[in-house]
Amino acid sequence: MRILPSSRRRAVARLVDRQLDTDPTITRRVATIVAAVRQSGDAALLRYARKFDQLSGPVEVTQEEIEEGLRGLDPDLKRALRSAAANIRRVARRQIPRGWRTEVRPGVNIEQVVTPLDRVGCYVPAGRYPLPSSLLMTAVPARVAGVREVIVTCPHPDATVLAAAAIAGATRLYRLGGAHAVAALAYGTATIPKVDKIVGPGNAYVAAAKAQVAATCPIDFYAGPTEIVIIATGGNPTWIAADLVAQAEHDPDARAIVVTPDEGLANRIATAVAERLPADGPARASIRANGVIVVTPSIDAAVELANEIAPEHLVCDRESVARRTTKAGTVFVGHYGAQAAGDYATGSNHVLPTGGAARSRGGLSASDFVHVHSVQRLTQTGLAGLAPTILPLAEAEGLHAHAESVRVRLSRNRKDKA
């Protein structure tokens, strides 16, 4: 793991610059797949499913299969899934925006109305292993928000995914993955219903497909390789190294970064990482390519750099530091704040923004599954009271018909009133 002084400005700037270089080959391939599914529906969808997902049987998993997956699951694993789901539900209930009504002035009432989306699509990856935790993190908040239909796609759903679907209350589950699954959810086919929003992580093809359909079907956010930044003022270097390696095992492109003002600690962390790295695999590739420890002149500089990176996961050992880290998908505080706890069990969502997107938003939540709109109620008195504000502004903007639409209502001419 490289140790980098913060004086190496160009190298540090590369940590902050997260402009994702989309592989043009992937972009073209995904565009072809998305267009084919949009135009040809099931014919293209099933062709790609057989080619990429090795689909040989029915595309939809039956309710009986889902229930059997739950019944046949190891009891300890079943309890773990139920416990995780319960924690996610508890947090999600607090995330739903509330409706309200207020009187702005006499005769002018504004109401906020919150309604759940009708149907959402949850993408569940299945690369080296299926990820039932991702199903819980997407489907459970949707259900808590009141979404009627929760459609799940997973290219290779095993018993754990089936059990998670049952526990989360998924409506339907399809053996589909990749760009063709995203396109089917966005545009609908005879087999797959069109959804109001697509959420969930995936590989580069899934991310590219989500980006391409986003103009037609809303998505949660564009997700790139996973990342962790640890601000370390002290602590156990072995524990810190364990968190870095844990994050790196997700993907060879994952980024694991430590920012610390303590050069001695930096050296001890680097040694501990080297001792814990497996001989091969994604963790080793990730650490060798993207593992960095930045030594800063002060803790203030460390916090500033972390906020500039705006990472998916931020870990720090002090409450005072946590209060100043305002740009992150999620923040873990304290020596026992293992990032893996958030992946599975704390109830906070693990579907998080990457690539600097945490500058403007946090992770997936129940609020992503509702529609919020306003209802405006005006009486004659209310409109008359607003006229001195409306008319000068409309005239100044050259929108004379806007002004006239108010004047005509307030005219004393009996004919106009009628």
Residues acting as catalytic residues:
312-313
The DSSP bridge partners found for residue 112 are: 100, 374
The two structure tokens encoding residue 374: 């306003």
DSSP for 195-244? -SEEE----HHHHHHHHHHTTTS-BS----S-EEEEE-SS--HHHHHHHH
**b/e sequence 291-302, b meaning 16+ C-beta within 10 Å:** bbbbbbeebeeb
Give me the count of residues in the chain.
Answer: 418
DSSP for 307-360? HHH--SEEEES-HHHHTT--SSSEEEESTT--HHHHHHTSSS------TTGGGT
DSSP for 357-386? GGGT-----GGGGEEEEEEEEE-HHHHHHH
Residue among 313, 321, 35, 72 at smallest CA distance from 179? 35
Collapsed DSSP state (helix, strand, coil) of residue 169: coil
DSSP for 73-137? S-HHHHHHHHHHHHHHHHHHHTTSPPPEEEEEETTEEEEEEEEE-SEEEEE--BSSSB-HHHHHH
For the chain, the maximum distance between any two Cα atoms, rounded to a whole number of angstroms, is 89
Where do we find the tokens 């095992």? 249
